[in-house]
Amino acid sequence: MEELGDVTEVVREAVEAGVTGLIAMGVDLERSRTAVSLAHQHSEVWAAVGHFPLEPEDPDIDALRELAADDRVVAIGEIGLDFEAVGGVEPARQIERIETFFGLARELSLPVSIHNRGAGEELALAIKRHPGLRGVMHYFALEWDWAERFLDLGFYLSFAGLITRPSRAALREVVKRCPPDRLLLETDSPYGNAHKRMGVPNRPAYLFDTAEVVAELRGLDLHELDDLETANARTLFTRIRR
């Protein structure tokens, strides 16, 4: 969140907008540590520890395991597979890392937050190799066939500002069809802006850009969606306390 200026202000404006809880994601060891420290400074913030798939260095699993023992850590993430980046990390190496992280998540009984670009098949196979693994497909951006595959594996789908783009009608279909008990919302701040805010860094307070569209698609009012989404988040991220 440091790209957004003063974190206290970022959290305050999100809470004022109506966000009751935030998860700060870790994309490498240093930022995982930052996420944990933010979670200790702000009662609304929880942390995830992870290692982004395109990080050139391999993750320090022992250090991340140690960090994940902190009671403010609610997930392993952001982890995943990204096969579309130019000059990215070799797919085989990414798959090795995901195996390690899925093992760690099961060992610690933590859910995973998964990034997927062009690697749905490999991710579905990896999830199947880890019975009992729970988690969310973060920034879900694919069509219903893929949604169904990950739902069948017990996973949640998390929707972001992408669903508000005019070109994403197929994704809005997924938002409509997603089972109510598997639906989550996120900003992916500072990325993932809603259509109406293209070009400015995304902020946690802007979650409602996405929430308004999801509520309309599902025929809910914002309060109903809020209750549903909060309950789902607490079911998946079991370490979140009131």
DSSP letter for 184, please: E
Residues 123 and 183: their CA atoms lie apart, in Å, by 19
| Binding segment (CB under 5 A) for Zn ion, from list 60-68, 114-122, 146-154, 210-218 | 114-122
Instruction: Report yes or no: 98 and 80 within 8 Å, Cβ to Cβ.
Output: yes
H helices of 42-166, in order, are 61-68, 91-108, 120-128, 144-152
Nearest to 158 by CA among 94, 111, 125, 91: 111
Nearer to Zn ion, 158 or 226 (CB): 158
The least CB distance from residue 78 to Zn ion, in Å, is 6
Nearer to Zn ion, 115 or 134 (CB): 115
Nearer to Zn ion, 115 or 172 (CB): 115
The least CB distance from residue 214 to Zn ion, in Å, is 19
Our finding on whether 115 is near Zn ion (CB under 5 A) is yes
| Binding segment (CB under 5 A) for Zn ion, from list 67-75, 101-109, 113-121, 193-201 | 113-121
Residue 93 phi/psi, 5-degree rounding, is -70, -40
The least CB distance from residue 91 to Zn ion, in Å, is 17
**CB-side exposure of 38: number of CA atoms within 13 Å?**
27
Nearer to Zn ion, 15 or 119 (CB): 119
Residue 186 phi/psi, 5-degree rounding, is -155, 170
The least CB distance from residue 51 to Zn ion, in Å, is 12
Residues 88 and 18: their CA atoms lie apart, in Å, by 38
The least CB distance from residue 191 to Zn ion, in Å, is 8
Lay out the site mask for Zn ion across 43-72 (x = CB under 5 A, - = otherwise): ------------------------------
Closest-by-Cβ residue to Zn ion is: 115
Pairing type for strands 22-24 and 112-117 reads unpaired
Residues that bind Zn ion (CB under 5 A): 115
